Structure 1
Amino acid sequence: MCLILNIHSYSQYYETGQEPSNIKWYSYQTENFTIIHQQDFTNNAILIGNLLEQAINKYPDIKIKRRLKVVIHSSSISSNGIVAWAPARMELYPIFEPSASGNHPFEELAKHELRHVVQLRRVNKGMTRFLSFIFGEHIIGGILGLYIPMWFLEGDAVVEETNGTVSGRGTNADFTVQTRAMLLNNKMYSFNKMSMGSYKDNLPDAYEFGYTLLSYTDNYKQSELRDYPIVNSGKNPYAITPFNKGIKKSTGLSKRKYYNKVFNELQKNLKAEQNTKTFESYNSLNQRKKNHNNNYINPFTYNNNLYCLKTGQTSTNQIIKIDNNKKEKCILKIGYENSNRIYSNNQFITWSEIKYDVRWTNRQYSIIKIYNLKTNSIIKLKGNTRYFSPAITNDGNKICVVEYTTTNNVVLKIIDVKTNKTIKEKNFGNYANINHPSWNKDASKLYFILVENNAKYICSYNLENDSLTYHFGGVNKGIEYPVVYDENKIIYSAINKGIRNIYLFSLDNKKHYKLTNTMYGATLPFVYADTLYFSKFNYYGYDLAKIYIDRTQLEEVVFESNIEIRDSKSESLLNMYDTIPINKIKRYRKGTHLFNVHSWAPFYYDLDKYTANPGLTLISQDVLSTTISKLYYEYNSEKNYNKAGFNIEYKGFFPVIGFDSYLLNKNISNTKRYNLYYNSAYFSIPLFFKSRNSNFNIGISSRIEDYRYKNLITKNTKEKFYASSNRIFFKHSIDKTQNDIDSKFMQYLDINYKLSAFNIYSYKFDENVFAIKTLFNFPGIFNHDILKLRFEYQKNKFDDIYYFSNIISIPKGVADFFDENMATYSIMYATPLLYPDISIGSIAYIKRIILNPYFENINYGKGLKHNIYSYGANLTTETHLFRTIFPFEIGVRINKVYNENFYTSYFIFNIMIQ
């Protein structure tokens, strides 16, 4: 769940991607929203619309004059939402999550994203509102992105969903466990570090940090703290620090002093509470390296060996084996595991993994993979499925999955692994959810967490008589991950007294027993014989631990259980499914909504070239992100020309197609004046594949250009120029960790061919250029170092008057030049020197310092006998300026060309947008 600001890339505004072109869209209108959805999602779309109306009724001061468009992407398998401004819309990715809270996910989603809408409406006041008439919607997102930090935006939204639901994230001890561990370990950091992150320390993310600051209400009015900084930033963007002044007016303190007060008092309260409790210490089964903030989770055993999933700040997802000396061995690297659990049974382990559509970003799948530890073989269930939370039987013949259909129905399925056929299924509709099923020993029953009516239950499903039994629940205690200990005992994870631990539930006497007593939390239990393996939390992440279950020394605990209320479902939520008359739901045709002018400027600007001139710019993008267009006029006094044109790109077909056109009027002198009529058409096919931890990008593109000159003095119209550009590229890379500078293994191949035909006056010429570019990444000496090798070749056909610009790279410091044959190679080594995490007042916060020594060479001429080379180094910092959301690359380059007797220095300044 997030808010997208106006961060531009290649002259486009933010787009989330597209659905397949054959999808039919429908829409209906509420008082404040236009809900755009797919046909089979109609009932759920009605619920979402009603939830949004319910949420906005809390804000009588918010007036939406034009209905806000809400696009529902039901072909996705990731639960998320965004609010983007320019164009203004809300985009929702609604699906039940495998480890959900007790709330209905649509309820949390609606309240969270609606709060982002409120934030944007609140900032659109005073001077910002005046500027929006001049610049359109992008000025609103720009002001928000410039002044309001991400921790405030997301923390505010989490406060809203927590206050407005039964079991929002803020009520979950897991959500704030990093803050607790940090403070109880006396890890107090600067405000800048907490708000902008670190590569070396484990910090709360923007959601947790912001929620902690904004939910602290002692002596402060929370509503003023959440509203006034945004309102003041919108009204007074010309002030140097309007957000800071808003914090000070609502709290009486600067934001740094407010942060210190909140976290000092929170630390004091946590330590006082800690002194009243006793905890047990558990030895770690893994060896944690210094400054490696990784998680060791999902422990399981096979043949007396310990295995787990390792992931985190310095590690990609991988199954590892840990020996008795705590040495690790990677067994298998996997992709993005999306059920928050790897299930193991005997020699088999299974998990769900995201599969991305090769072309359509907003269509994904969740597939099931099975790994055999005995044979070291991996298989996957066939088909483009939407399966989650798999659990495999002891013999490996059957597997249970939870399917989330595109209509959001939750279906429990039993599948034959060999035939891929469904043996049995039970449909739970679209109101309940199932988390993490687990088999009993003879595979006759499944135990799982059932989520319904804002509560969780431990349930069992008997496959033989098709019966569902509720064993415990009715309140939300964060119960998760049930596993069968024996036929009458279930081990599970739950939150009690603010800490997650492992518990045992007896089906015979209905009593609960506490198995672990950790300071910060224990989860993901695995039982072998009478040994319980689990993941325990500490400041650096999750570690593995184990205990022996002594049946004679079990500590009984009392949990409230309200199973009897399970049939009295939330009437208020169910009523929101009320049917809207069919004539209110209409087809939403993409063809009639292609143009949506959202932003403009009383001047011309080109974000790719960082230029601005007198003129006019109009920007359009439809809310489905299929059509992006621009209409503009430019007057350039320096080069003495007028230029008017437009461009349009359509991404709704499998190939992306586009068209550019402009008229340029240029005065060279009193005797030389001409018009240039330019038209071009192009297509591209961007493809993406992912297999486990490998990523594959393939692209094919072609552009045809037509230039027609008209001499306004001689009236000659015979001057023409045609050009064609063609490209195909391939890229393979493995997943990178958070701390990696780039992918450690990468291969890139880029083939370009351009050709042209001239007919200017009586001069005719055919030109072409062919180029091959390659790039290879390899691991360096230390963990996050990268060695980059680049090889490029270019063959030109040109004369001294007309020629294409170079496609290949020229060594740094060498003036651009042309030759019929050119070949380059370069070697670069990138190594992070330091992670200083230091602030220079409020001006800059430096997170990382990187050194890049390099050597670059170009050969040219007949037989490539001549060469020029240069060498040097870049010393750069990753720096947040003025506490901006995105960092900047700032540094210096020292370069020397082979035949020069001096070194040249250059200043480096780039925006680092991922």
Structure 2
Amino acid sequence: MKRKSLFVFFLFFLPLLGKAQFVDLGQDPAGLRWKQINTRDFQLIYPDYFEENAQKIANIFTALYQHTNSLAHKPIKISLIIHANGGVANGSVAWAPRKADLYTMPSQDPSDTWLEHLCVHEFRHVVQIDKVNQGLTKILYYLFGEQITIAITGLYLPMWFMEGDAVTFETAIGHLGRGRSPEFINEMKAQVLDKGIYSYFKAAIGSDKDFVPNRYTMGYFMVANARVNYGNAIWTDALNRIGRKPLSFAPFATSLKRTLRAKRDSVWNDSTFRSLFINADSVKKANTYADAKRTLYHDNFSELKQIWSREVKDIHNNFDTLPTYNKSYTNYFYPTPLPDGKVIAYKKGLQETGAFVLLDGKKEKVLTRSGVLDDPKFIYHDNQLVWVEYKPNFRWEHGGKQRLTSYDLRKGKYRYHRGQHNRFSPFAVGKNWGVVEVNEKNQAALVILDTGMKTELQRIEADRDELFIHPSYAKGKITTVVQNTNGIHLESIDPQTGKREMILPRMWYEMDNPVQYDSTLLFRASFNGNNAFYLKKQGEDSVRNILNARYGVRFPHLQPTENMLYFSFYTADGYKPGRIKTDRFSNLPLEKTYFRLADSLKKRENWQLQFQYDSIFDSRRYRKFTHLLNFHSWGPVYIDQYEGKIDGGIVVYSQNNLSTLSLAAGYIINADYPKGAWMINAAYKGIWPIFSIDLKSGQDKSASRLTAHNLKTGRLDTVGTRNRFRRTKGELTMQLPFNISRKNYSRYITPYVRYKIEAISNITSKARFFYTQRNDTLYYAPVSPDLYRISSSPNYYQMMEYGLLLGNQTYMTVQEIDPRWGQILQGGYAHTPWKKMDLGHEWWISGQFYFPGFATNHSISIYSGYQNRPKAGYYDKKILRPRGIDMYGYELTTLRTNYKLPLLFPDQHITSVLYVKRIDGGIFFDMGHDKTQRGTRNYYSYGIELNAGLHLFRLPFPITLGGRFGYETQHHSLFANLLFNIGFTI
């Protein structure tokens, strides 16, 4: 019975998990020409101008496939898509279809070179997912295709394991990796030491109330610490069990439980391990085997808490703190003093998406909000704020760029500065400006621009594989961090001659934000295992440690006129601004430390990232047209990811590697076609207009009844006819999407044209009578029921629809229910221009408006809509109705108003089934007006809504479940509705 119940549960969640994994991350510009490298292990698809780096990536993946990794698995062949045209540093692995997307723009985070780091991390995801595809899962693959593997992975494998194991791998084989980054480590260290160890559910799923380190951080410590204590088998066994027994009860947790039962006692009996704890027996007994993941979580973080407590016990924050006033987690980056004593900082947190603020004692003023920043570095110079933010492309999701951006404090003018390539880390060069620039081939340069940031004055090219990080300028020299495949070092560059001089030799420690003053260089580095400031004087070889904090210091800004250093220091409530006089600097010797956990992993993996790049792979043209189809999944359900519908049937799915053509085709059964229908749904996004088609054709039936006189008896009887026919419905839509997002607003314009047809054909009537008409009287006589009348001429209508969608709304914080400000306008016109069947015409217009409420995270929204349609009522409803009310007239008007507010952030779980993050409430008042042939009526409704944001079965997909309770005047009655929504963005 248990296995049967689990099978039903699995089938229920399969469509949802499959829907979440049909990934379309966007398209590259249509004009790109593509090439490919095809080997036994992978297919690499890349823009033709990226040949040199494509060869490098091919060498990296060849070495990774040959390495015997700690999961003891070599994955099958996969397609790797290189997106080199955009301004995003990221990566993604999907399995329906099976491919990896690599975004090659390097970030300003000092680490291993970006291409190496990116390939290593994403390769690990390929290994994880493919290792699940064994045993019964592989048999199911032949029944369902690639969607079954990722569905089983998503159902059983926690996201913290997926990302934590990938971070563990990058740390084990890399020179740096996030496991050696104090920034990465301190988020969890500060939370555990100052806030306590959160519940497993809160740590794994997150919170809207408190800052919770993400799945990368939590997962790293879970996976890495368990690997050190229990060996690699703890995770390989868990993946094996998922793949071989996907229909068993919680195979991942069951495998962990078996490992803990076999090995946990020996771990806790180890004297070195026990010495970490004040009372080891009580800590061990506090965690039982009832839930293996929770036991492992509390074991790991109890151990880490003791280790971290000892690391920070002698570190004290001996500096001044600038006052800030926030009840929730908030970061203040790069505090920069003004001549009048006020301080500008970049602020971001749970209640702020990103803003430049002015700190003045107890007051805080927002100067301007910003768009999305990859790096919070900014410069204040000559009454201007200058930084870099991501500017989307008008059309192509993979065509945006990191743009130089400025805000004039005197004029209040927000401005983007054009540039052909991605730009980073602005710095002042006298009255001019300098930036780091990286082109689409990943070639870096230092570029000097004029005062208006329009004209290029000078360019200093980096050597091959080099990246400049956080340069600054003082006394005619540019000081910068330089990263390459041999390490990270500090360098001085003379912009007049181009002469480069190494200040500190190459090493594998993080360094950034060099600040030169007088004959002294100050910078941030991770030498002591934490973020600390170091100082090197010209002419001296020694480097001194001048400032430390419990959880690290970063983002220095030196004010020479005050002999004051401003900076940010990390706390469990975010980065806070601090300052210290230069004569109060410490003078500690440089002591390079090791990273205990990272070094243990390195020994276990026993393989170092040292790529030679000496192999040259054959490359050839990749033709987009001949690779349009890529069938990856099939099965007994149809998942309409655009409409959010799930129907039964037999359907195959195709999506090509460049995500330009998505297609689903097959035979389905749903409420519209209870007898079944052939269908095809496809969308082509390879050019600026997006074309989509939705076609369904299937058998349907109806019955008709009429009254006639019996020819034999003369009686008046009711007789019937059964009709069968084929009903065909089709839509062809063309959209022209424009993304005009700017600053902290998401903005878009989407005009569209849609052709619709619905036809009734092959009509057959199975008659129970023969009828004739004489002198306006209808007579009938019973006949054999096998008599058929067939009509071959189709009855159909064709419709044209034209519409426009306009959107403008602010980015939202995790605590907001609706946008702070926003407007969404829609309008359209539809008619039947051809004379076969004239259904008249209709037009409509609607608007949704968002306003701030009376307190933080409160929201006011107003919706208004008007629709005028034919009296026959053939057209669809285009506007929303008042809640609890139905309107059927030919002229409709609606007004809906809401006030919403968060009530609670419980962060509580109910067993392992339910985790509740938040509870929201709201009140509404709606009005409606409709005009019918009988007259006009006004309707009203009002009531309350209660919603809970929750997660089921520890799955990462957020669910909103609630109820609506109200009163309506149409029937003068109470009404109630169930509210449900599931999100697939994680």
| Same structural fold, with TM-score higher than 0.5 when normalized by the shorter chain | yes
Q: CA offset at residue 97 of structure 1?
A: 1.3
Residue number in structure 2 paired with 1:482: 514
Q: CA offset at residue 859 of structure 1?
A: 0.9
- Structure 1 residues 532-541 or 208-217, which shifts more? 208-217
What is the 5 A alignment of 1:99-178? Answer: 99-101=109-111, 103-178=112-187
CA contact (8 A) 1:433 1:451 kept: yes
Return closer, same or farther for 1:897/1:679 CA change in 2, 3 Å cut-off.
closer
Residue number in structure 2 paired with 1:455: 487
**TM-superposition CA deviations, 1:755-774 (whole Å, max 9, x none):** 236877xxx54322211010
Residue number in structure 2 paired with 1:824: 894
Residue number in structure 2 paired with 1:641: 675
Q: CA offset at residue 221 of structure 1?
A: 2.8
One-letter amino acid matched to 1:205 = N
What is the 5 A alignment of 1:184-263? Answer: 184-217=193-226, 220-252=229-261, 253=289, 254-263=292-301
CA contact (8 A) 1:504 1:515 kept: yes
Q: CA offset at residue 611 of structure 1?
A: 4.2
**TM-superposition CA deviations, 1:453-495 (whole Å, max 9, x none):** 3421111101222200100132123111011222x11111112
**1:542 is the counterpart of 2:575:** yes
One-letter amino acid matched to 1:481 = N
**TM-superposition CA deviations, 1:852-889 (whole Å, max 9, x none):** 21111111227995211211111110001110111111
**TM-superposition CA deviations, 1:624-656 (whole Å, max 9, x none):** 100011111135699652311322211001000
Q: CA offset at residue 668 of structure 1?
A: 2.9
User: Where do 5+ consecutive residues of structure 1 fail to align?
Assistant: 562-569
Local SS of the residue matching 2:792: coil
Residue number in structure 2 paired with 1:47: 56
Local SS of the residue matching 2:62: helix
Local SS of the residue matching 2:304: helix
**1:82 is the counterpart of 2:92:** yes
101, 121, 141: which one aligns with 1:91: 101
897, 903, 913: which one aligns with 2:968: 897
Local SS of the residue matching 1:270: helix
Residue number in structure 2 paired with 1:672: 723
Q: CA offset at residue 59 of structure 1?
A: 4.0
One-letter amino acid matched to 1:545 = G
CA contact (8 A) 1:346 1:394 kept: no
717, 726, 733: which one aligns with 1:682: 733
- Structure 1 residues 234-243 or 149-158, which shifts more? 234-243
Matches of 2:809 and 2:672, distance apart in 1: 44
Matches of 1:546 and 1:471, distance apart in 2: 26
One-letter amino acid matched to 1:698 = I
CA contact (8 A) 2:329 2:574 kept: yes
619, 631, 639: which one aligns with 2:653: 619
919, 927, 950: which one aligns with 1:849: 919
Local SS of the residue matching 2:479: strand
Local SS of the residue matching 1:752: strand
One-letter amino acid matched to 2:326 = K
Return closer, same or farther for 1:297/1:64 CA change in 2, 3 Å cut-off.
closer
Return closer, same or farther for 1:414/1:695 CA change in 2, 3 Å cut-off.
same
Q: CA offset at residue 574 of structure 1?
A: 6.4
Identity percentage over the alignment? 26
Matches of 1:382 and 1:575, distance apart in 2: 38
CA contact (8 A) 1:872 1:896 kept: yes
One-letter amino acid matched to 2:425 = S
Q: CA offset at residue 724 of structure 1?
A: 1.5
**TM-superposition CA deviations, 1:674-731 (whole Å, max 9, x none):** 1234443221112111221122111111111233322234223141211122210101
Local SS of the residue matching 2:151: helix
Local SS of the residue matching 2:944: strand
- Structure 1 residues 413-422 or 748-757, which shifts more? 413-422
Matches of 1:571 and 1:909, distance apart in 2: 49
CA contact (8 A) 1:146 1:884 kept: yes
**1:695 is the counterpart of 2:746:** yes
**1:265 is the counterpart of 2:297:** no
Return closer, same or farther for 1:808/1:554 CA change in 2, 3 Å cut-off.
closer
**TM-superposition CA deviations, 1:608-629 (whole Å, max 9, x none):** 464433x311111101100011
CA contact (8 A) 1:311 1:317 kept: yes
User: Where do 5+ consecutive residues of structure 2 fail to align?
Assistant: 1-13, 262-288, 594-606, 704-720, 765-788
**TM-superposition CA deviations, 1:353-405 (whole Å, max 9, x none):** 1111010001111111233445544544333431111112343xx11111111
Q: CA offset at residue 346 of structure 1?
A: 5.2
CA contact (8 A) 1:344 1:391 kept: no
768, 774, 778: which one aligns with 2:847: 774
**TM-superposition CA deviations, 1:736-771 (whole Å, max 9, x none):** 2222112110011100222236877xxx54322211
Local SS of the residue matching 2:790: coil
Task: Kindly name which structure, 1 or 2, has the bigger radius of gyration based on alpha carbons.
Answer: 2
**1:313 is the counterpart of 2:367:** no
Q: CA offset at residue 910 of structure 1?
A: 1.8
Q: CA offset at residue 8 of structure 1?
A: 7.2
CA contact (8 A) 1:215 1:222 kept: no
778, 792, 799: which one aligns with 1:716: 792
Residue number in structure 1 paired with 2:504: 472
Matches of 1:900 and 1:707, distance apart in 2: 35
Q: CA offset at residue 893 of structure 1?
A: 1.5
Matches of 1:18 and 1:766, distance apart in 2: 39
**1:286 is the counterpart of 2:323:** yes
Matches of 2:911 and 2:673, distance apart in 1: 42
Matches of 2:366 and 2:820, distance apart in 1: 16
Return closer, same or farther for 1:48/1:823 CA change in 2, 3 Å cut-off.
same
**1:706 is the counterpart of 2:740:** no
342, 351, 362: which one aligns with 1:326: 362
CA contact (8 A) 2:696 2:728 kept: yes
Return closer, same or farther for 1:897/1:149 CA change in 2, 3 Å cut-off.
same
**1:878 is the counterpart of 2:933:** no
One-letter amino acid matched to 2:458 = K
CA contact (8 A) 1:356 1:365 kept: yes
512, 518, 525: which one aligns with 2:549: 518
Aligned Cα RMSD in Å? Answer: 2.5
CA contact (8 A) 1:343 1:350 kept: yes
- Structure 1 residues 658-667 or 867-876, which shifts more? 658-667
One-letter amino acid matched to 1:786 = S
Return closer, same or farther for 1:560/1:474 CA change in 2, 3 Å cut-off.
farther
Matches of 2:344 and 2:202, distance apart in 1: 35
Matches of 2:489 and 2:15, distance apart in 1: 43
Local SS of the residue matching 1:177: helix
Residue number in structure 1 paired with 2:826: 750
One-letter amino acid matched to 2:434 = C
**TM-superposition CA deviations, 1:267-326 (whole Å, max 9, x none):** 112223333x24234342132322x21101111112222111111211121111111x23
CA contact (8 A) 1:71 1:91 kept: yes
Return closer, same or farther for 1:9/1:191 CA change in 2, 3 Å cut-off.
closer
- Structure 1 residues 373-382 or 764-773, which shifts more? 373-382
Q: CA offset at residue 162 of structure 1?
A: 0.5
- Structure 1 residues 245-254 or 886-895, which shifts more? 245-254
One-letter amino acid matched to 2:751 = I
Residue number in structure 1 paired with 2:371: 335
CA contact (8 A) 1:414 1:423 kept: yes
Matches of 1:639 and 1:386, distance apart in 2: 52
Residue number in structure 2 paired with 1:738: 814
Return closer, same or farther for 1:370/1:605 CA change in 2, 3 Å cut-off.
closer
CA contact (8 A) 1:68 1:90 kept: yes
Return closer, same or farther for 1:8/1:807 CA change in 2, 3 Å cut-off.
farther
**TM-superposition CA deviations, 1:804-856 (whole Å, max 9, x none):** 121111122223x3212111001101100010101101011100000021111
Local SS of the residue matching 1:363: coil
Local SS of the residue matching 2:526: strand
- Structure 1 residues 385-394 or 140-149, which shifts more? 385-394
Matches of 1:439 and 1:469, distance apart in 2: 14
Return closer, same or farther for 1:455/1:172 CA change in 2, 3 Å cut-off.
same
CA contact (8 A) 2:908 2:916 kept: yes
Return closer, same or farther for 1:782/1:230 CA change in 2, 3 Å cut-off.
farther
Residue number in structure 1 paired with 2:598: none
Local SS of the residue matching 1:176: helix
CA contact (8 A) 2:885 2:970 kept: no
Matches of 1:609 and 1:332, distance apart in 2: 38
